[in-house]
Amino acid sequence: MSYTTEINRRLDWVKQRATAAPVSIVLITVGVLLAFSPVGIVYPDFLLPAVDLGILTALYGLVILGVNLQVGHTGLINFGPHLFFGVGAYTMAMMASSGSFAGVTFGLPIPVGLVAAVVLSSAVGLLLGSTSLQLRDDYLAIVTLAGAEIFIRLINGVQPIFGGQTGIQNIPQPIGAVAASYKTGLTATLLIFSGILVAAYAVVTKLTDAPYGRVLRAIRADNDGARSIGKKVGRYKLVVFVLGAALAGFAGAMVPLYNGSIAPTFTTITLTVTIWIGMLMGGAGNNRAVIGGLLIIMGIRLFTRFMNTYSPVGGGFFAPLRLMLIGIVLWAVIYYKPEGIWGDPDRLGEVFTRK
Amino acid sequence: MVSPVQSLLFSLEFGSFIAIAALSFSVIYRVVGMINFAHGEWLTIGGYLGVLIAGQVGSILAIPIVIITSGLVGYGLARTFYRPLRRSGAGPIMLMLGSIAVGYVLRGAFRIVFSSEPRTVILPTQVYRFDAFGGFFVNSTQLLVIGMAVLVIASVHLMFKRTDVGIAMRATGSDEDLAEVCGVDTSSIRRNTWLAMSGVAGLAGFLIAASTNVFPLMGMEYLLLLIAAAILGGIGSAYGAIAGAYIIGGAVTLTTSYLPSTFTTLGTGVAFLILIVVLLIRPSGIADVEVAT
């Protein structure tokens, strides 16, 4: 028996067992154990931005799964995931914070905050979805975007309630509180959030592989056709829209829990643009591909963050260059590979190209 | 407390910015079939060109030069960034995303070239005060803004109704293939639309820069307002856009002047609320254009 077949055999053994459920359980268990262990992990400081951005990537991963369900599978153009992310984040922050510099806080336990965050973001999704999902693609895009802008104006403008530019502080950090050191806490957070992402991936894939997912893609391909074979198209669209909103709201609710505070900068349109770039770059309509695309765009962001720290030009020049880079990457993806790196051009034709 | 007449004047001025901008946005949508999310940056271009040009040649002469140069710049951008996308078969949503990308690139470029400091176009200004109706004032810049809005609206109206180019533009917007079969050179119509409407958008930016100031994110602040106006009026309808613009202008100005100062950012929020409500109740807008599937 040759050496390579032996390796392949072992790889297959690993592949069979390393499915989403055990991987997610292992990641979360290791993360929780690490958080409670008295061990202080040591790694060089320059890796901190990578871990930090990794945490954000895991949370964006939850958002992108939801948006992909809406856009990639069902063809609902949602330009406002940062609205639902923001609703989740602010609900959690205001519920859990025990006294902030500005804004209303309730000092409730975290689980209450989490439930409230998911319920409220779903409710906003339900409100927006039940009223606007019958609109044409481009109008739906504008409504979702306008809805998100209203929310941002609201949290920026009504300082007595939402804390304005300063945001909400003093939010309990459950992982940071028990961990032996800052770096250990951050690493444990990354592991736990990645585990949650893998679990969410498994659930969403289960849904999209099921006949349910086929109905969604039928709606994307031909709205009236799906209706004519007796599918309740409006119901499906609404459920998917609310599901995506809930996922984004859950992801948003995680931010204050590791960050300790929340401010309007976490819910800007750049979040939505990052999500869209990741989705298109990977391949809309394919759950694994969109997470791959997200990893690439977040990798680019990490690279530019390092460049910013170590390059000779000042931040005043570098910050706009980074924004320009986002624009150029987005444009290039649309021009060169709108179906994405791992996407299937035939499956995407209906939504993104001229019929 | 400002007098009602004064508020009305501010609303008229603000509405005029939005009317000129929304008109150009709407005509581009109608003829070219594209929602240009970078249209706010088209305004910013006009504002910065105004700062550069008015410093050289003086104020009134600057206006035609700004219109021509921003028309050329806007057309150049559309040709560089949008035409390749369209040719590669990108649909409306992809073009919309492409324009978001262009917006990012332009805003970054503005910050690098002009820095984040607000600039302003300095025009010689005369202030006229009146004691009637509880007292109000008008300055010559406001009169210029309102006058230019009237002029632009009248010219676009005449172009659409009376000239062959305008009729060809409407034909291209309704059915491009049919227009082409009838002998309309649709690609030249597209070019002329971008040239003319980028010029009009540049004029709006110039007026904003003259009346307040121009900064890299200025366009972002006006983008959703002008989209709101265009949708309120029924997107693709030039006249609807004008009506929508003055309604939005009035709503924003009135909320800003009569709400407590902590809530001033809600002024524009009100405009978006109007936008959403209109889309829900009457998605076709005032002018009744078909939009729901």
Predicted confidence (pLDDT) per residue in A306-328, tens digit = 887 777 666 667 888 888 998 99
pLDDT for the residue A8: 83
- The residue ranking higher by pLDDT, B29 or B183, is B29
- With contacts defined as CB-CB under 8 Å, which chain A residues touch B263? 157-158
Contact A141 B93 (CB under 8 A): yes
- With contacts defined as CB-CB under 8 Å, which chain A residues touch B111? 319-320, 323
A18 touches chain B (CB under 8 A): no
Residue in A153, A326, A353 nearest the CB of B266: A153
Which of A129-143, A261-275, B60-74 has the weakest average pLDDT?
A129-143
- The residue ranking higher by pLDDT, A54 or B168, is A54
Rg (CA), chain B: 19
pLDDT (average), residues A114-125: 95
Which residues, including other chains, have CB under 8 Å from residue B13's CB and lie 6 or more apart?
B142, B145, B146, B211, B249
pLDDT for the residue B265: 64
pLDDT for the residue B131: 76
Contact A321 B108 (CB under 8 A): yes
Q: What integer best gives the mean pLDDT of chain A?
A: 87
At residue B238 the predicted structure's pLDDT band, cuts being 50, 70 and 90, is confident
pLDDT (average), residues A129-141: 81
Mutate to test the interface with B, among A145, A227, A334, A353 (most CBs of B within 10 A): A334
Which position has the token pair 């998605």?
A: B283
Minimal-distance CA residue of chain B relative to A154: B266
**With contact defined as beta carbons under 8 Å apart, do B205 and B47 qualify?**
yes
Nearest to A326 by CA among B37, B106, B43: B106
Contact B84 A149 (CB under 8 A): no
Mutate to test the interface with A, among B28, B81, B86, B105 (most CBs of A within 10 A): B105
Residue window 204-263, chain A: list those with CB within 8 Å of chain B: 223
Q: What integer best gives the mean pLDDT of chain B?
A: 85
Which of A92-96, A239-243, B288-292 has the weakest average pLDDT?
B288-292
Minimal-distance CA residue of chain A relative to B274: A146
pLDDT for the residue B288: 55
Angle at B130 between CA B124 and CA B134, to 5 degrees: 135
Mutate to test the interface with A, among B107, B221, B225, B265 (most CBs of A within 10 A): B265
Please state the pTM of the whole predicted model. Answer: 0.88
Q: Quick check: helix, strand or coil at residue A107?
A: coil
**With contact defined as beta carbons under 8 Å apart, do A248 and A274 qualify?**
no
pLDDT for the residue B82: 93
At residue A350 the predicted structure's pLDDT band, cuts being 50, 70 and 90, is low
pLDDT for the residue B133: 74
Which residues, including other chains, have CB under 8 Å from residue A113's CB and lie 6 or more apart?
A91, A92, A95, A96, A253
Which of A4-18, A167-181, B186-200, B263-277 has the weakest average pLDDT?
B263-277
A351 touches chain B (CB under 8 A): yes
A314 touches chain B (CB under 8 A): no
Report the C-alpha dihedral over residues A316, A80, A292, A251, rounded to 10 degrees. 90
- Partners of B46 in beta bridges: none
A71 touches chain B (CB under 8 A): no
Contact A338 B263 (CB under 8 A): no
Residue A166 and residue A189: Cα distance in Å, rounded?
A: 25
Nearest to A341 by CA among A274, A294, A303: A294
Size of interface A-B (CB pairs under 8 A): 148
Distance from CA of A334 to the nearest CA of B (A): 7
